[in-house]
Amino acid sequence: MKTLLLTIFLFILFQSASSQYIPSILLPGHQEEKHELCSHAHEMHQKMSERPLESINEIDVLTYDVFMDWRLPFATPDSVLPSYTYSGKNELTFIPLSSSTTIKLHATSMTIDSVTLDGTKLASIAIIQPSNGHWSINVPSALSVDTHSLHIWYTYKGDAKKGFYYYPKGMFVRKFQGLDSNFVEEDLAYVMNQPEDARYWMPCNDRPDDKARARITIRVPYDSTLSDTNNIRVTSNGDLTELVIGRMNGIPSYRDYTFYDTTLIPTYLMVVNASRFVDFTLWAKVPNSNDSIPIYNYVWKKDFDGTKTDGSEYNAKYALSFTPSMITGYIPLFGKYPFKTYGHTSAQPFWAGGMEHQRMSTINRTWLRGFSNNGLAHEVMHQWFGDLVTCKTWGEIWLNEGAGTWGEALWYETWGGYPEYISMMRSKRNDYFRINGNVLQPPIFGIPIENVFNYATTYAKASWVYHMLRTMLGDDVFYPVLRTYFNRYAYGNANTEEFKNIFKQEAPNPPIDYDVFFDQWLMKRGHPIVKFSTLREHVNAQNETYIHFVINQVQAGNTIPAIFQFPLSIRFIGTTDTVMYRGIVKNSSHEGFIKLQSPLVKAIIDPNSDVLMETDTVSGSYLSIEESMPTMQAYIRGFGDEQYLSIKSGIEEHVSIMIHDIRGSLIHSDNISIASTALIEKKLPHFSSGMYIVSIRSTQGMISLRYQL
C-alpha cells in the first residue's frame, strides 16, 4: 500500500511540476535598494572532466529569475536512484552583443520544453536542444542590440551528481579514520557550479565574466504539522525576500523560498541548498565602528548539538566561531566587507573542502570537527577576491585562488603576527615544492580547465605571487594598491593585465619591473634555484673581515626562465655580529661584498622567505675561509692550454684538493702529501671553458684560488 500511495503521489506531483505554473512571487517589480555594505582551497581529489575552456560569449545577461520545483527529488524513497527529475523556469533579460538570428546559451542534463522571446512563444522547431553543454534558439529576424526578455521552461533529468546533487537521509558516506561512520543526516539537495556546472541545473550563460542580478525561487515539500527545523529549509545567495506556503487540495504541502540580491553575481557563484537545517547567527564586528555583519549558519541538528572540541564529533558552533575574526581581520587590509551578510551551509557528501558562494559559502561537513580554520578563512577571503572582483576567464583563476590561499596566512597574521603569517606561507611553499618535485606543473596563467584546481600552481604558487608583491613593495604601498583595485573593479571582473596595470599606475618604479615580474611568475613555469658558487672570507689591511660571494641560478627546463629577477637578501652571521646583504638579482650570476666585524660562521640566502626559491644554506664549511695560511703558499700557473697548481708548505702536510665549477658543484678531488719546504706542482685536469675554484685544505685552514679556462 505504501508503494502504491507513493506512486500516486509522485504522479500527481509530477503533473503539477510539469504544468509550468510559476508562483506569483516571481512577478517583477521588486524595488532595487542601494545597500550600505556595513571565502576554496578545495581539498579536491576528483579530476575534472577534460573539455576546452568556454570561449563563446554572444549575449550579456542582465538578470536571472529562476524557479525550480524540487519536490520530486525529496519525495523519492530513502535510496539513491539512477535519475532524478524536477521542472523549472528561468526568465532572463539580456542584450545581444551583436545583431543575430541565433541566441546561444548553455544547458545540459535537461530538456528545453518551451521558450518565449519578448512575450512571443517560439515554435518547438526553433529550439535546438542541449548538446555538449550548449543549446540555442533560432529567431525569425535578427535581434536588435537592445534589452530583450527570454522565458525558458525546462525539465531536469540526471543522476544528481553534477551541478545538481541529491542525497537521501541515511545514505552511508564513509568511515573517517579513527572517527565514527558518517551517514547523510537529512535529505539533502544542493547545487555546486565551479567552474562550468551551473548549466547542469538551469539554462544560462555559464561564464565567469557575465555577471547579472539574480532572483532564485525554490519549491520544497512542507508539512504544517512539523516544526520549521523539521521541515525542508532552503538557503541561497542574497536576502530571503519571500516565503510562501502553497496548498494542494486545500492542505499546505509546499513552500516557495525566494532570494534576491541587488549585487551582481556570475553563475558559478550562485547556490541553493535544501535540507532540514538548524540555524544560528554569529556577528563580525566592523573595526572602528558600531556596526556588525551577520553571519548566518545552517547545519544539521546533530552538528548543532555537538559539544566536544577535540574533533571527535561535529560541533558547528565551535568550528564556525572563528569566522567573525576573519572578516574583522580582513576589513582593514582590503576595505569594507562587500556584501550585506555572510554565511555557511554545511553539506555531506561534498567533493570540495569549501566553495565561496557569494554571501553563503558551502562547506564540507568535515570542517565542523573544528580543524579547518584555514579553509574557512580561505572562503571568507574570496568574498573580496573572486566574489567582489571576479576573474574574467578560468585561465586566470589564480587571481581568485591564489588570493584565497594567501588569505589563510593573513588570518594567522591578524592574531599571531608576522611570524605566524610567514610560517603558513612557508608551508604553502613546501606544498608547491613537494607537488612540483619533477617540475611538471604548468604555468599559473592560462591553466587548462582539466587542471584548473591544481593545488601546486593555482593555489600554493599563486599565493606566493601575492606574498612576493607584498614583500617587494612593502605594506604601505601594497595594500593601498589592492584597495584601489577593489574600488575600480567592484562587483565586476578583472584580468591579469588589469591587475598588473593597477600596480603600474599606483606604485610605479618597483624594484623588479612589473612586466618582468608577472611574466616570469605567471606565464612561465618553475622558480629560481639559487646556490653559492663561491663564498670567500677576506681580511683587509685594517684587519677588517669582509665577504666576497658569488651566487648562481641553476634552474633549467622547458619554459622555465634561465634568469629570474628578484630582490635578494643574505644574512651573514659572524661570531660576534650579523649583517644583512640586500640587492637585486638580474643575471644568472650575482656577485657581492659585505663587511663583517668577526669571522664568518654561517650565511643564509633569503632568510625571511621573501621569494619563492630553492636555496642552499651555507654553514660551517666554505670554498674559502682564509686567503692565506702562515705555513703554506699556493698559486696557479698557466702554460699554453695547461694549468698547474703550485703548493709550498713550511711544514709537512697532508693536503686535500677540491675543484668546484662556478655553480659550486664538486667536479674533482685529490689528496697529496707535502714535505717541509718542498714545492709541489700538480697539473690540473682539463675541463670545458669556464671559471673554476681550486680549494686546498690542510690542518692549518684552506686557501681558495680561481682560474679561467
Supply the pLDDT for residue 41.
35
**C-alpha distance across the termini of the chain, in Å:** 96
Supply the pLDDT for residue 39.
33
Decide: 63 and 215 in contact? Cβ < 8 Å. yes
Decide: 101 and 143 in contact? Cβ < 8 Å. yes
Nearest to 680 by CA among 692, 700, 691, 696: 696
Q: What are phi and psi of 683, to 5 degrees?
A: -70, 130
Q: What type of residue is 421?
A: Y
Nearest to 24 by CA among 219, 172, 315, 288: 219
Supply the pLDDT for residue 15.
37
Supply the pLDDT for residue 528.
96
Mention every residue, 6+ apart, whose C-beta is less than 8 A from residue 503.
469, 473, 481, 510, 514
Quote the percentage of the chain above a pLDDT of 90.
69
Decide: 215 and 27 in contact? Cβ < 8 Å. no
- Mean pLDDT for the stretch of residues 30-51: 31
Mention every residue, 6+ apart, whose C-beta is less than 8 A from residue 178.
none
Decide: 451 and 442 in contact? Cβ < 8 Å. yes
Q: Whole-angstrom Cα distance, residue 152 to residue 149?
A: 10
Query: Mind spelling out the 3-state secondary structure of 481-500?
Result: HHHHHHHHHCCEEECHHHHH
Mention every residue, 6+ apart, whose C-beta is less than 8 A from residue 227.
none
SS3 239: strand
Q: For 255-268, how does the pLDDT look when each residue is reduced to its tens digit (9 = 90+)?
A: 999 999 999 999 99
| Three cell numbers written together for 700 | 692549518
Supply the pLDDT for residue 415.
93
More confident residue, 559 or 28: 559
Decide: 300 and 319 in contact? Cβ < 8 Å. no
Mention every residue, 6+ apart, whose C-beta is less than 8 A from residue 131.
none
Q: Is residue 541 very low, low, confident or very high in pLDDT (cuts 50, 70, 90)?
A: confident
Indicate if 632-708 has the same CATH topology as 529-619: yes
The whole-chain average pLDDT of the chain stands at: 87
pLDDT surpassing 80 at residue 486: yes
Quote the percentage of the chain above a pLDDT of 70.
87
Q: For 492-525, how does the pLDDT look when each residue is reduced to its tens digit (9 = 90+)?
A: 999 999 999 999 999 999 999 999 999 999 999 9
More confident residue, 182 or 118: 118
- Mean pLDDT for the stretch of residues 654-675: 80
Q: Whole-angstrom Cα distance, residue 292 to residue 288?
A: 11
CA 555 to chain centroid, in Å, comes to 25
Supply the pLDDT for residue 163.
97
619 class by beta-carbon count within 10 Å (0-12 exposed, 13-18 middle, 19+ buried): exposed
| Three cell numbers written together for 350 | 561534498
- Mean pLDDT for the stretch of residues 127-139: 96
Q: What is the dihedral of CA 101, 106, 111, 114, to 10 degrees?
A: -40
Decide: 314 and 333 in contact? Cβ < 8 Å. no
Residue pointed to by grid coordinates 577571503: 381
Neighbours of 601 (CB within 10 A): 14
DSSP 72: H
Q: For 314-328, how does the pLDDT look when each residue is reduced to its tens digit (9 = 90+)?
A: 999 999 999 999 999
Supply the pLDDT for residue 130.
97
Q: What is the dihedral of CA 335, 338, 342, 345, to 10 degrees?
A: -120
Supply the pLDDT for residue 662.
59
Domain 529-619, what fold? Immunoglobulin-like (2.60.40)
Q: Omega of the bond prior to 349 within 30 degrees of 0, cis?
A: yes
More confident residue, 8 or 249: 249
CA 189 to chain centroid, in Å, comes to 26
Single pTM value for the model:
0.82
Q: Whole-angstrom Cα distance, residue 558 to residue 536?
A: 33
Least confident of 177-181, 453-457, 557-561: 177-181
Supply the pLDDT for residue 244.
97
pLDDT surpassing 60 at residue 1: no
Supply the pLDDT for residue 19.
32
pLDDT surpassing 90 at residue 117: yes
Supply the pLDDT for residue 630.
59
pLDDT surpassing 80 at residue 8: no
Supply the pLDDT for residue 51.
37
Q: Whole-angstrom Cα distance, residue 266 to residue 622?
A: 57
Note the CATH number of domain 632-708. Answer: 2.60.40.10
Least confident of 14-18, 166-170, 295-299: 14-18
Q: What type of residue is 706?
A: R
Q: How many DSSP H helices and E strands does the chain contain?
A: 11, 40
More confident residue, 60 or 628: 60
| Strands ordered across the beta sheet of 59-69 | 120-121, 110-117, 148-158, 84-96, 59-69, 212-221, 251-265, 239-248
Mention every residue, 6+ apart, whose C-beta is less than 8 A from residue 590.
550, 551, 552, 568, 583
Q: Whole-angstrom Cα distance, residue 470 to residue 16?
A: 58
pLDDT surpassing 80 at residue 663: no
Which whole-number Å values give the CA distances from 142 to 56, 128, 145, in the listed order? 18, 17, 9
| Three cell numbers written together for 670 | 685529490
User: Which of the listed ranges 18-32, 72-86, 145-159, 180-194 does the model predict with the highest average pLDDT?
Assistant: 145-159
CATH architecture classification, 2-277: Sandwich (2.60)
- Mean pLDDT for the stretch of residues 48-60: 55
Q: What are phi and psi of 427, to 5 degrees?
A: -65, -35
Decide: 624 and 634 in contact? Cβ < 8 Å. no
Q: Whole-angstrom Cα distance, residue 322 to residue 412?
A: 11
SS3 656: strand
Q: For 588-608, how does the pLDDT look when each residue is reduced to its tens digit (9 = 90+)?
A: 999 999 998 888 888 899 999
- DSSP result, 298-315: EE-HHHHH----SSSS--
pLDDT surpassing 50 at residue 300: yes
Supply the pLDDT for residue 417.
95
SS3 561: coil
Nearest to 260 by CA among 592, 37, 28, 444: 28
More confident residue, 443 or 642: 443
Is domain 394-523 annotated with CATH 1.10.390.10? Answer: yes
Supply the pLDDT for residue 56.
54
Total residues belonging to the chain: 709
Q: Is residue 583 very low, low, confident or very high in pLDDT (cuts 50, 70, 90)?
A: very high
C-alpha atoms less than 13 angstroms from C-alpha of 486 in its C-beta half-sphere: 21
Mention every residue, 6+ apart, whose C-beta is less than 8 A from residue 566.
468, 512, 528, 584, 585, 611, 613
- Mean pLDDT for the stretch of residues 677-693: 80
Give, to the nearest 10 degrees, the angle between helix 323-334 and helix 373-382: 40
User: Which of the listed ranges 389-398, 537-546, 672-681 does the model predict with the highest average pLDDT?
Assistant: 389-398
Decide: 495 and 393 in contact? Cβ < 8 Å. yes
- What residue segments make up the domains of the chain, in order of their start? 2-277, 394-523, 529-619, 632-708
